[in-house]
Amino acid sequence: MTRESVQPAGRRGTESGVFWLGTRATTSIVRVVAKPVGIGVIEEPWQWSVSAELYAAVAAYARPRDLTLLAVVHTHLSPRVPRLSPTDRTRGLKIKDALAIIIGCAGGELDPARWGWFVYGPSGYRSLTTGEQAKRITMTTEPTEFVDIKAGRPS
């Protein structure tokens, strides 16, 4: 579902991304895939970023539902195993234990082991080992909710 939502942008030749919201636990479960849309979203060939207002809108959506922002997932156009760009490091989420996940091939890479996995900690983002990736987060087989998030209009 995440890949389907970011691939239209990939076909346009730009990066794209979504937020994974859920409950944080030893292994967190993704309950909601939230796609930021509209003002404040930058989808360009070498950059995907969202404004502070959109992060706030995501938080406003999550809080009353007891959801935590687990990960920011975005695409890179290159088929190589992704690394965080300088923009990703400076503009990304800066919350302890939050994950930054990057899917290569503009969202077309199927194998999560070939995605870029990073976690935010005291010294910034670091790579997750393959073993940690599986332990940290899981997509349920139950239907995950899918929502669009607009700045200034959390609903």
**Shortest reach from residue 27's CB to Zn ion, in Å:** 25
Pairing of strands 68-75, 41-44: unpaired
How many CB atoms lie under 10 A from the CB of residue 56? 14
Interface positions, 101-120, toward Zn ion (CB under 5 A):
none
Cα–Cα nearest to 42, from 102, 88, 86? 88
**Shortest reach from residue 6's CB to Zn ion, in Å:** 12
C-beta of 31 vs 76, nearer to Zn ion = 76
Q: Does 88 bind Zn ion (CB under 5 A)?
A: yes
C-beta of 43 vs 88, nearer to Zn ion = 88
Q: Taking contact as CB under 5 A, which single stretch among the options 19-27, 51-59, 88-96, 141-149 is the one that binds Zn ion?
A: 88-96
Interface map 48-87 toward Zn ion (x if CB under 5 A): -------------------------------------x--
Residue 125, both tokens: 């983002």
CA 120, 68, 45, 10: dihedral to nearest 10 degrees?
130
Q: Which residues partner with 59 through β-bridges?
A: none
Q: Give the count of residues interacting with Zn ion (CB under 5 A).
A: 2
CA–CA dist 33, 30 (Å, integer) = 7
Residue 31: phi, psi to the nearest 5? -105, -35
**Shortest reach from residue 47's CB to Zn ion, in Å:** 7
Residue nearest to Zn ion (CB): 88
Which spans of this chain sit near Zn ion (rule: CB under 5 A)? 85, 88
